[in-house]
Structure 1
Amino acid sequence: MRAELPFNSIREINWYLYKLGLFPAKAPSLTVKSGGDYIKQALHSRYKNAPEKVSLEINHLHQHFESEAIPDDIFNWVDLSNERQCTWLFLDLRNIMLASWLDENFLVERSMNSRCMDIVEQQFIFPRVELFVNSNPDKISRAIAFFDVLESEKRYKINYIYWLMRSWKIIDKQNYLLKWLDKKNNEQIDWVMEYLSKQESFVSLKNACMPVANVSKYSILVSAVDLFNHYEPKNTPRLELLIIKMKKAWSQKKHRDGLKGRKAYNVIMSTDAKQKLKVIADARDYKQNETIENLINEAYEKHLVEKKRKN
């Protein structure tokens, strides 16, 4: 019998804690050593009247982990420097865990064992698989934790991950839909997120726009579109029409905002003055109406200075 747990990583510690139903208050700060000590102490306490069962339990856990755990390098196809790819993967798995609108057929079609619905129904039954992430490596760690917790055969997990890899190769080519967005324009990003959140006929798109701590709204928006193409590839034309409509709505909003405090005027001037106005506007790289407004402001400022000097 194996006398000690082969505590090799925090990942294994988390898996043992989950299988044993042990969730210490300080779990997030556990190290491999402190986690291992906690597990051994808990097992000896649980089997204090039958200490021989500790070795049996330890041996069983180790064999179970070895047979069920997906390979550590199975996500090597993910580029950790690619914010879009990492966020897409993380949000895809988050949606499976949290979205009640996904039915069993969705998962079965993607080579997943129907038992994975256990985790959907219980909504994050493993506390250590958190929605809080600080970096792209964090997102991949959450993805691995998701599959560690998933009550499904190892082959189904691997099949699904390979399906994700194939899906990304297709999705990666569809990055043109939101290229018009300015990632530094918070007003625009907020407006687009609100616009998409109201699209009742695009359920997966609406749910994908849920915020995530420490993940930029822009990244979530891009991933929301990626996820829609991921879930509903046949509806990509519908999505393209929606984005065209949304882009036009944004342009109209900006136009209306630009007209605030402004009024149209009919001004009659000589042809010669009109030509001179064009020359000045071209030289300053302004529109002609902007040039007129600037000339008026300059003249007004000069007037105030002269008036103050005379007084």
Structure 2
Amino acid sequence: MTIETLNNQNNIRSILFYSKVLRERWGFTPKENQYSDLKSLRDEINSFITQPKYPSISKIELISSLNKLNKINIIDIDLFNWFKDDPITTSFVWGYICNNLELILSIKYGILTHQNTSTSTYEKLNLNKNPASHEERIKIIISYFDYGFIDENGGMKESILKDIQKKWYHASNDVREFKWLSNDNHESIHWAFDYLLKYNTSETNKIDNDFNLFKEASTLPLKLFKPINIKEKLIAIYSALQLWDCHHSEKKMLLSNMNKAWQQKMLRKERENQKSINCYVNSDVKIKLDELVTYKNSRINKVLSDIITEAHAYMIIEIKNQK
């Protein structure tokens, strides 16, 4: 392979990157807009480079520059493997990018010059703001890293990805899975999402009532997520909690209160068809009841219910036999 040959010409990520850089810096306009047709786009790039339009740079220098930029910007696909198999982790990475758009690439590492400096990197790349699936978020993340441009004097995308991984590690340790929150319990998912929405509303109202213009509401980044089904809603719950940038004690308190609130809800639901029994029994009878509870490894109300149900069934049989 000579220096005049573009590297990774069979890699769709690299070909699309070459196309983007040539458009941004040298006015390349591909005739075909079918990016799935790798050969067609590759042929157009090679044809464009051979045209003597650049008196300030030779063909060899241009290709060399493109290859250097490709090496810096198109990082090894395996570096994304740590999150690709887990929808919640992938959602965290996507959400972190959305919450730190300019910090990650544009400001720190110098994106290609654009006239509209108020537009974020995410918007410049025209990436979908409302991905509806795990697979779509993976594609967006890789596209963001591929085409969020870093020049020859910039930093390393590998280090950016590692920084996000470190933040995910700490965030995932702070937010452990709730035992009662799962894909097969739709009621718990709807309830948890609504609970977090109400928390955000409450925190925002506190700020409004205080009339403190310099205080920021400690709200979760739920507005990032627009779940279209129950699976996506569960992902949004954990992702929002992990991405929530607040004091550790505040997050710990919310998680604890949320867990207690669900347990209380289930307790109230359990007691909907229950009645309280207030009575006194002999001390010896109470001791025997306690022994039964221990033996059956159950609760007093459950043991009493079983005894009464069994006695009642026996009574029915005796009544029938007497007829």
Query: Which TM bucket (shorter chain)?
Result: 0.5 to 0.7
Identify the residue that residue 196 of structure 2 maps to in structure 1: 196
Identify the residue that residue 72 of structure 1 maps to in structure 2: 76
Specify which of 256, 278, 284 is matched with residue 272 of structure 1: 284
List aligned pairs for 1:207-226, cutoff 5 A. Answer: 207=223, 210-211=226-227, 217-226=233-242
Contact 2:132/2:227 (CA < 8 Å) preserved in 1?
no
Identify the residue that residue 123 of structure 2 maps to in structure 1: 122
Quickly say closer, same or farther: Cα 1:240–1:126, change in 2 above 3 A.
closer
Moved more, 287-296 or 209-218: 209-218
Q: Structure 1 residue 156: deviation in Å?
A: 4.4
Q: How does the TM-score come out when normalised to structure 2?
A: 0.65
Q: How does the TM-score come out when normalised to structure 1?
A: 0.67
Secondary structure of the residue aligned to 1:286 is coil
Quickly say closer, same or farther: Cα 1:254–1:23, change in 2 above 3 A.
farther
Quickly say closer, same or farther: Cα 1:163–1:124, change in 2 above 3 A.
same
Identify the residue that residue 131 of structure 1 maps to in structure 2: 131
Identify the residue that residue 260 of structure 1 maps to in structure 2: 272
Q: Distance in 2 between matches of 1:263 and 1:89?
A: 50
Identify the residue that residue 17 of structure 2 maps to in structure 1: 15
Secondary structure of the residue aligned to 2:280 is coil
List aligned pairs for 1:19-98, cutoff 5 A. Answer: 27=35, 30=36, 34-38=37-41, 40=43, 52=51, 63-64=65-66, 66-67=68-69, 68-72=72-76, 75=79, 78=82, 85-96=89-100
Q: Distance in 2 between matches of 1:202 and 1:192?
A: 18
Q: Distance in 1 between matches of 2:297 and 2:148?
A: 61
Contact 1:90/1:143 (CA < 8 Å) preserved in 2?
yes
Alignment root-mean-square deviation, CA: 4.7
Quickly say closer, same or farther: Cα 1:4–1:77, change in 2 above 3 A.
closer
Identify the residue that residue 111 of structure 1 maps to in structure 2: 108
Identify the residue that residue 101 of structure 1 maps to in structure 2: none
Contact 2:189/2:233 (CA < 8 Å) preserved in 1?
yes
Identify the residue that residue 210 of structure 2 maps to in structure 1: none
Structure 2: gaps (5+ residues): 24-28, 201-216
Letter paired with 2:295: A
List aligned pairs for 1:140-219, cutoff 5 A. Answer: 142-153=140-151, 155-156=154-155, 158=157, 160-168=160-168, 170-171=170-171, 174-175=173-174, 177-184=175-182, 185-200=185-200, 201-207=217-223, 210-211=226-227, 217-219=233-235
Letter paired with 1:249: A
